[in-house]
Structure 1
Amino acid sequence: MTPVVKGIIILNVVFYIGTVFIAPGLYDTFALHFFEDPRFQIWQPITHMFMHDSANFLHILMNMYVLAIFGPPLERWMGNNKFIFFYLSSGIGAYLLTTGIDYYDYITWTNEAIEAGVTQAVVDQQLFGTISDPNFWGVMVGASGCTFGVLAGFAFLYPNVKLQILFIPFPIAAKWLIGAYFAYETIATLGITGVQDNIGHAAHVGGAIVGFIITWYWKRNSMDKYRWD
């Protein structure tokens, strides 16, 4: 395993153990809140990438598995420093797309409520009170945006590598398997599936888009010539 990938996995495990078993009170501090929420802190767009659902161990397990499998080839190609930039940028992309969608919903909901005669004070109380929607107002945690950036970068650099997954008896090229996964996440982000869940589909799409763009740009502009390490 490459050094940066190993370090990221260790950091995620430390955050998980620390906020789940040692100091649960820090979970709310490091998880990402909507920026209009009074619980929002400036460091949360970064720290949320290393946080995972305390009630779902598979959340961190699957993210770290994807990173361990697909991250090292990218790190070797990019170099350590560029991979760090790539990884964090994918996470920021996930945050920006999710927040952009949330902000649109926030403005729409607020305007509709005020036009219906609801006072601003009541609107503020309801937004952060008992009627809050967990899919909208719940905290954002996880490395999924980062790992989707890794998947997108891998599919771009190694499109014909055959991948074998459970329950499918034949290998599938990375470009088709990861591409299909991205297509599903895009459809889910648009709400076309009709499935209500607590998965940050927009974060997956945002991370994948940023990861793809960065990888495409670096490959197009002679990565080896401008390595940072």
Structure 2
Amino acid sequence: MINFNLSPMVKNLLILNVVIYLGMAFLARDLAPFLFDTFALWFIDNPNFQVWQPVTHMFMHSLDGYTHILYNMLFLVFLGPSIENWMGSKRFLFFYLMCGIGAFLTVTAVDYYSFLFDTNAFMRDGYYRPSVGASGAVYGVMAAFIWLFPNRTMVLFPIPIPVKVKYLIGFYMIKELLATLGIIGSSANVAHLAHIGGALFGFIMIWYWKRNDMDKYRIY
């Protein structure tokens, strides 16, 4: 069973995300458009793009409701502490940030590839719309968790039935992949490809570290 016990870096990331969200929602409403233009992630060829945005965008969330930040933070606080305890706080911060940046690199690479075959692809796929959210980093955490602790269980409210993590996270991963490929419907304004990119980078890093210097810490 997964225990709810915040580790230091997860706690810091949670506080930072919540403070920024509340500041954007209540204290800086008049400044929100400027802040989004400055710190959200624009397409790399857009004039609004800045070099810090691949990092800053993952600490901002949509102000159209609270579900965006809620789901990201729930997965972070339930899954993140076990990963942080396994690899240490400094490496966990590096891992988290690289998963978010990896999501950005994946989307950018696919967009450029699409542009080779369709010069209007940028205009359709969000050239004028920035991206925000920790989802890419969180999906990296999910990928690490399913690799390290596949048989741990979670109880899904309101159904009191324990579910193994490998089935729960596996469902989310398959769903995101099918949505990315257009096989199933996609929710509006959800960057499914970024989720896959974050998960891919997370898996590669955790596989490499486990194989080279952390295998003795894996919990079966």
Q: 1:102 aligns with which of 84, 92, 111?
A: 111
Structure 2: segments with no counterpart, 5+ residues: 1-5
AA matched with 1:208: A
AA matched with 1:158: F
Does the CA contact (< 8 Å) of 1:19 and 1:27 recur in 2?
no
CA shift at 1:194, angstroms? 4.0
Q: Deviations over 1:118-168 (max 9, x none)?
A: xxxxx9xxx6xxxx5475642111000111111111111111011222355
Does the CA contact (< 8 Å) of 1:52 and 1:142 recur in 2?
yes
Greater radius of gyration (CA): 1
Q: Number of paired residues?
A: 207
Task: Name 2:64's counterpart in structure 1.
Answer: 55
Does the CA contact (< 8 Å) of 1:135 and 1:198 recur in 2?
no
Q: How does 1:18-167 map to 2 (within 5 A)?
A: 18-21=23-26, 22=28, 23-24=31-32, 25-110=34-119, 132-133=123-124, 137-166=128-157
AA matched with 1:31: A
SS in 1 for 2:118: helix
Larger deviation, residues 159-168 vs 136-145: 159-168
TM-score, with length taken from structure 1: 0.83
Task: Name 1:12's counterpart in structure 2.
Answer: 17
CA shift at 1:175, angstroms? 1.2
Rounded Cα–Cα distance in structure 1 between residues aligned with 2:143 and 2:15: 23
Q: Deviations over 1:72-122 (max 9, x none)?
A: 011011001100111011101111111222223344332xx6xxxxxxxxx
SS in 1 for 2:105: helix
AA matched with 1:197: A
CA shift at 1:19, angstroms? 2.9
Does the CA contact (< 8 Å) of 2:46 and 2:127 recur in 1?
no
Rounded Cα–Cα distance in structure 2 between residues aligned with 1:30 and 1:36: 16
Larger deviation, residues 193-202 vs 51-60: 193-202
The percentage of counterpart residues that share the same residue type is 50
Structure 1: segments with no counterpart, 5+ residues: 114-122
CA shift at 1:20, angstroms? 3.1
CA shift at 1:195, angstroms? 3.6
